[in-house]
Amino acid sequence: DAGITQSPRHKVTETGTPVTLRCHQTENHRYMYWYRQDPGHGLRLIHYSYGVKDTDKGEVSDGYSVSRSKTEDFLLTLESATSSQTSVYFCAIVTGASGTGELFFGEGSRLTVL
């Protein structure tokens, strides 16, 4: 599992509240990714990081922000959650310093916004 832990695994929240999902890795990998998965859309990239304080936007970054203040943690924040952000969120890491290695996923965080 490449030492990836996502928390929380399940969360129910109300529209307009802030939510932060955490991805923690124990193997010092440089590249980390946040995806959301929805029926009919597959996996869509939200944001990714290629090092501490180095992040970039993916396909569906609107409404999301990320932070990477240390190598092991990549945080995904919904400043004001909306019902359209109800989804399963997956964190992933890439092995190898150049980001060309294998992609490993966490077990997912299911978020429901009421």
Q: Which residues bind another protein (CB under 8 A)?
A: 33, 35, 40-45, 48, 50, 56, 58-59, 90, 92, 94, 99-100, 102-108
Taking the least distance from each CB to another protein, the nearer of 20 and 104 is 104
Nearer to another protein, 19 or 94 (CB): 94
Kindly tell me which of 17 and 66 has the beta carbon lying closer to another protein. 66
Minimum distance of another protein from residue 17's CB (angstroms):
26
- What is d(CA 57, CA 25) in angstroms, rounded to the nearest whole number? 21
Nearest distance, CB of residue 83 and another protein, angstroms: 22
Minimum CB distance to another protein, residue 26 (Å):
16
With helix as H, strand as E and coil as C, how does the chain read?
CCCEEEECCEEEECCCCCEEEEEEECCCCCEEEEEEEECCCEEEEEEEEEECCEEEECCCCCCCEEEEEECCEEEEEECCCCHHHCEEEEEEEECCCCCCCCEEECCCEEEEEC
- 37 or 67: whose CB is closer to another protein? 37
